[in-house]
Amino acid sequence: MPNHSDQTAFTSAATRFAVAILAAGKGTRLKSKHPKVLHEIGGRPLLGHVIRAASAVVEPKHIFCIIGHEAGRVRTAIEAYGTQFVEQTEQRGTGHAMMQCRQALAGYDHVIVLSGDVPLIQPETIARVRDFHLAQNAAMTILTAEPRDPFGYGRILRRVRNGHITDEVESIVEQKQLTPEQASIGEVNSGIYAFDVKKLFQRIDLLNTDNPHGEFYLTDIAAILQRDGESVMAVRAKSPEEVLGVNTRIELALLDSYLRDQKTRELMTSGVTIFRPETCVIDSDVTVGTDTVIEPFVQLLGSTSIGSDCRIRSGTVMTNCRLGDNVTVKHGCIMEDAEVGNLAVLGPYSHLRPASQIGEGAHVGNFVETKKTRLGKGSKANHLTYLGDAEIGEGVNIGAGTITCNYDGINKFKTIIDDGVFIGSDTTLVAPVRIGKGAYVGASSCITQDLPDDSLGLTRPPLVIKENWASAKREKLKSKKQKS
């Protein structure tokens, strides 16, 4: 959640703080053709999570995303957050990434460095690193943690003075360079730092590629600063989960489920009932009102918002939908970019496609598909129907098996059904067509012209009744069978 008090504290301070987010890497270990930082957890790209957290501490115009691998795609996906971009054309390591920021950061006193692949970082922690860094007058402050499994992370070698372990850091040692004794160190580098900008860039060119990956490691700057007598400090994260990085698909899934677990807990705490929450998939941006009940195996995705006192039954999946209060969504509905008014009843097995607007108290039943369609207040389409490009008024009854024929193979046309209309079952409405207020359409009609208000529209061949025809037919068929 944005923490505006932090932002005020920051902007009122005389020091100029920027945030740089390392996001240029390829993410080799994900084995993906997509850039790592665009992989999603909680329905949002990794980099999006990091920017969200940073934006609560500094304004987006002071956030610099360092992009490189598939820079164009990353930029397009992230542009809406309003951050700045710095390009690292060749990815030669985290130190090399920061070298590209020299110009962009020239006007700042301090920079907080975040990693595009450490997505659970919280605004409070970023603010804490900043405040600790300033209070200690440090050249570099490193956020550290002790995760359950430190393997793969750089380890923190703290300075020991008079037999006491201090807050100062001697150096950061990467996994592959650990000596056997160092391998038991549990405190890891989170990849999140604060730097005094001037002191960083005075020495950044001293980094070299003398390591197993042949890369410029930003982590090596700790020992360089320390040797020059500058203070390099460590500050521990409150929870180790917050600084977990995503390097593999397994870590991606772990962090995704961590985030979703947090989300359902947050919703339950705020008054939403969720049965078997571990089976539900609820994206980070979703909101749900109090006393709404969510059954097992429901997915609420994207920017979906649900009002109070609703019931969402098992198997329903909704993306970017807006539901009012007291809405019932029965089993197995698939809904996207749809808006649903108070007291409406949907499902089971309704399919609401984009731009569906279901009015207050309206009913949409099983195997009904809607697209770009407004169904007015109290109207009903309960069975086996397709409503596309339709504007349907209030109190309308759409009979079972009604189809709007909205497409001629090239163009789409509109069907307008005014208030109080009754459409009989198995009707086809060939658009463009308008059914006037209060009109009736007889069952099984094919309506190709507008109907005036209060009229009856009916296309139906005359009914033929032949008495005893069926028994005579059966006799004839039987005698044929005996002969053969």
Contact positions vs ligand UD1 (CB under 6 A): 22-25, 36, 66, 68, 88, 91-94, 96-97, 115-118, 153-154, 172, 174, 188-191, 217-219, 245, 247
Q: Measured from the CB of residue 36, what is the shortest distance to ligand UD1 in angstroms? A: 6
Please, what is the minimum distance in Å from the beta carbon of residue 320 to ligand UD1? 28
Compute the least distance from the CB of residue 321 to ligand UD1, in Å. Answer: 33
Cβ proximity to ligand UD1, 244 vs 327, nearer residue: 244
Query: Which one, 46 or 423, has the nearer CB to Ca ion?
Result: 46
Which residues inside 98-157 make contact with Ca ion, applying CB under 5 A? 117
Q: Are 232 and 142 in contact (CB under 8 A)?
A: yes
Partner touching 189 among Ca ion, ligand UD1, none, CB below 5 to 8 Å by kind: ligand UD1
The tokens describing 73, both together, are: 């795609």
- Which DSSP string corresponds to 438-473? T-EE-TT-EE-S-B-TT-EE---PPP---TTHHHHH
Can you tell me the distance from the alpha carbon of 358 to that of 345, in angstroms, rounded to the nearest whole number?
A: 9
Question: Could you tell me the smallest distance in angstroms from the CB atom of residue 250 to ligand UD1?
Answer: 14
C-beta closer to ligand UD1: residue 146 or 339: 146
Pick the binder of Ca ion from 245, 277, 307, 399 (CB under 5 A). 245
> Residue 305 half-sphere exposure, CB side, CA atoms within 13 Å?
7
Name, in order, each residue with C-beta under 8 angstroms of 386's C-beta and a sequence gap of 6 or more: 368, 369, 370, 402, 403, 404
The rounded distance, in Å, linking the Cα atoms of 56 and 122 is 9
Give the nearest distance from C-beta 241 to ligand UD1 in angstroms. 13
Closer to ligand UD1 by CB, 116 or 361: give it: 116
Kindly state the smallest distance separating residue 215's Cβ from ligand UD1, in Å. 7
**Which residue's CB is nearer to Ca ion, number 245 or number 365?**
245
Active site residue 351: no
Cβ neighbour number for residue 73 with a 10 Å cutoff: 13
Q: How far is CA 128 from CA 6, 142, 219, 473, in A?
A: 10, 11, 20, 90
25 binds, among ligand UD1, Ca ion, none (CB under 5 to 8 A by kind): ligand UD1
Nearer to Ca ion, 245 or 359 (CB): 245
Token pair of 408 as six digits: 């001629």
In the complex with Ca ion, the residue whose CB is nearer, 232 or 246, is 246
93 binds, among Ca ion, ligand UD1, none (CB under 5 to 8 A by kind): ligand UD1
Helices in 22-64 by DSSP H: which ranges? 46-55
Catalytic residue, candidates 4, 49, 331, 383: 383
Decide: 22 and 114 in contact? Cβ < 8 Å: yes
Residue 174 interacts, among Ca ion, ligand UD1, none and using kind-specific CB cut-offs from 5 to 8 Å, with ligand UD1
Q: What is the nearest approach in angstroms of ligand UD1 to the Cβ of residue 11?
A: 27
- DSSP notation for 108-169: -SEEEEEETT-TT--HHHHHHHHHHHHHHT-SEEEEEE--S--TTS-EEEEEEETTEEEEEE
Q: In what order do the strands lie in the sheet with 373-375?
A: 287-288, 305-306, 322-323, 338-340, 356-358, 373-375, 390-392, 415-417, 433-435
**Residue 451 interacting partner from ligand UD1, Ca ion, none (CB closer than 5 to 8 Å by kind):** none
The one of Ca ion, ligand UD1, none whose footprint includes residue 18, by CB under 5 to 8 A per kind, is none
Q: Which does 217 bind (CB under 5 to 8 A by kind): ligand UD1, Ca ion, none?
A: ligand UD1
Q: How far is the CB of 245 from Ca ion (least distance, A)?
A: 4
Locate 153 and state its tokens.
């992370």
Point out the residue whose Cβ comes nearest to ligand UD1: 154
Q: How many helices (H) and strands (E) does the chain have?
A: 9, 39
Beta carbon nearer to Ca ion, 245 or 307: 245
Cα-to-chain-centroid distance, residue 360: 28
Identify the residue whose tokens are 């919280």.
Answer: 122
Contact indicator for 94, 189 with CB cutoff of 8 Å: no
For the chain, the C-alpha Rg in angstroms (whole number) is 32
User: Quick one: 17 or 153, whose CB is closer to ligand UD1?
Assistant: 153
Least distance between ligand UD1 and beta carbon 65 (Å) = 9
- Which of ligand UD1, Ca ion, none binds 376 (CB below 5-8 Å, type-dependent)? none
**Alpha-carbon gap, residue 356 to 335, rounded angstroms:** 9
Which 362-401 residues touch Ca ion, going by CB under 5 A? none
# residues near Ca ion by CB under 5 A: 3
Residue partners of 338: CB distance under 8 A and separation at least 6: 318, 321, 322, 352, 353, 354, 355, 356, 357, 358, 370
Q: 341 is in the binding site of which of Ca ion, ligand UD1, none (Cβ under 5 to 8 A by kind)?
A: none
H-state helical runs in 280-336? none
List interacting residues with Ca ion (CB under 5 A).
Answer: 117, 245, 247
Active-site annotation, residues: 383
